Amino acid sequence: MIKNSKTVILFISLLIVVIIGIIGIYFYFSKDKQTRIDLYLSQKIDQLRSEYRVTKYSYQHLVSFFYDMFYDDRELLTLITQTSNKKRVYQKLFPYYQKLKKYHIHYLSLYKPDGTLILNMNKPELATSSKKLSLNNKKNMANKLLITFQKPIYYNNHLIAFIELALSYDIFTKELQKLFHAHYEFIVNKLMVEGIAFRYGIYSFIQSEYSPFFYYEKISDKSDGIYRKTIQKIKLKIRNTISNQLLQYKNFAKSVEIDGNYYVITFLAINKNKFNVGYIVSIKRDNNIKMFDTIFWQNILLGSILILFLFTILFYFAISRIKFEEMATVDKLTGLFNRHKFQEIAEIEIKRSHRHKRPLSVILFDIDHFKKINDTYGHDIGDVVLRELAKIIKQNIRKYDYAIRWGGEEFLILTPETDEKQAFAMAEKLRKAVESHTFPEVGKVTISLGVASVDPNESIDQAIKKADNALYGSKLGGRNKTTVAL
C-alpha cells in the first residue's frame, strides 16, 4: 500500500511537471513563431518598398528620356517663351503627350517659373477656357494622388518653365502587377477624397473593403491573376484586425489563411509633404507562412517527446530508488516493514509519545505451531501462510498503525494514540480474524499475542520486552489467546 501510494504520488507529481513543461514549451515556441513571422513580414514590407522604388526609378528614367527630347526641340522652347500662344504650345507638345500615354503617363502640365499654369495636357480643354481653369485651385490636393516628376526648362541659360509629368497610383499599381506578378492596389485617405470632391478630372472613388476611411481610385477593372473572390475573402477577414493600424499611417503586413492557402498582405504608407495620402497594398500568396506553422508544431512535438523522455527516465530512477528503499525497509515475503524500518519508526513515535504525553502500545505475536506447518506442508506452504497472515493484519489495523515482520513467524504492531486497553481490543480483533480464516492447504491457523503499553520515560525495547513476556504467557496459557503485560 505504501509502495503504491508513493508511486502514485510520484507519478502525479512528475505528470504535473510534464504538463507544465509542455505548456511552457507551447508558449515559448508560440512566441518564437510570432517573432519569426514578424521578422518575415518586416522583410515583406522591405520587399514592397523596393518594388515601389524600382518601378518609380524606371519611370524616372523614362521621364528623363522625354525631357531630353523636349530640351532638344528648339522650336518648342521658343513657343514656351511666347506664353500667349498656348494653343500652338499644345499642338507642339501633343505628339510627345501621345507617346507618354503609351507608357500610361496621362498627366503633362506646363508652368511658368512663378508657378502659374500654362496648360494641362491631360485636360486639354482647360487650356482654352479660363472658366474651367478654376478647377486647378484644387491642384495641390489632387497632385498628392499622383506620382509626379518635375523638370526645369532652360532656354539661352534662362529658366523659362517647369514641365511636370505624372501618373496615378492606380496606374502605378498596375505596372507593379505586370512587373512582379501579384495583386496591387492603392487606397486613398478619405480626407483626400473629400478634399478634391468626389470626382475631379478622371478621378472616381469607391469605398474600400478595408475600412470606411479609405477609398479606391477607380479607373478601370482591377481584376488580375488571383481569383477575385479570394481577394474579397482576404479583405473581409483582415478588415477588423487592421482598422486601427490603417489610421496610424505606418508600414505593416499581415498574414491570413484562405481555403488552405496562406497570403501576405503588405501595406506601404504613402506620404507627401507630411500629408497621409494612403497606402499601396500588395496581396501575395505565400505558403512560406505555412512553414512557420510546420516548424512550430515540429518544435512542440520534439519538445514534448524530450520532456516525456526525461519524464520516463526520472520516473524510472525514482521508482528504482523507491524499490531500493523498500528492499531496505520492507520484508519481501509479506510486504510489511522489517525490523530495520521499525527502529526508525519507533524512534519517531516514542519521542512524540513522550513529548505530547500520548499513549503508545505494542502488540507482539506469532503463529502457533508454525514449525509443524513447515514440517508437514513444506516451506512453500509456510510462506503462503505468512503472506495470508500479512493480508489479514493489514485489513485489521488502522491507517496510522505500523505492522512489522519481527522475524520468522513473529510479528509486531506499533499502535500510536492507543492505550493498553485499546491495544488489547485490537489484538483480540486480529486474533479472531485469523482464527476464522481458512488458509490454503493448511486450513485453520491460530496466533498467540502479547500486549504492552510504553510507559513514560520507558524505551521501546523495554516495552517490547514486556510484550514478549506477555506473549510467552499466552503460549503457556494454551495458545490462541491475548495476554496483557503486567
- pLDDT < 70 positions in the chain: 1-5, 83-84, 123-144, 195-204, 218-227, 326
Q: Which of 375, 363, 462, 374 is nearest to 410 (CA)?
A: 363
Q: pLDDT by residue (tens digit) across 139-165?
A: 454 556 788 888 898 888 889 999 989
Residues forming beta bridges with residue 451, ordered by sequence position: 363, 484
C-alpha cell at 13: 507529481
Q: Residues near 282 by Cβ (< 8 Å), separated by ≥ 6?
A: 48, 51, 176, 182, 183, 184, 264, 265, 266, 268
CATH topology (fold) of 339-484? Alpha-Beta Plaits (3.30.70)
The pLDDT, as a whole number, for residue 203 is 54
Residue 291 sits at the vertex; the CA angle it makes with 287 and 297, to the nearest 5 degrees, is 140
Domain boundaries along the sequence of the chain: 181-286, 339-484
Whole-angstrom Cα distance, residue 158 to residue 161? Answer: 9
Q: Whole-angstrom distance between the N-terminal and C-terminal Cα of the chain?
A: 35
User: Considering only CA atoms, which of 345, 486, 336, 485 is closest in space to residue 409?
Assistant: 336
Model pLDDT, residue 307: 85
Amino acid occupying residue 150: Q
Could you tell me the three cell numbers for 86? 498656348
- Residue position matching grid coordinates 507617346: 99
Task: Return the pLDDT at 342.
Answer: 92
Residue 133: its pLDDT value, please?
Answer: 34
* φ and ψ at residue 118, rounded to 5 degrees: -90, -50
Q: What is the pLDDT of residue 368?
A: 95
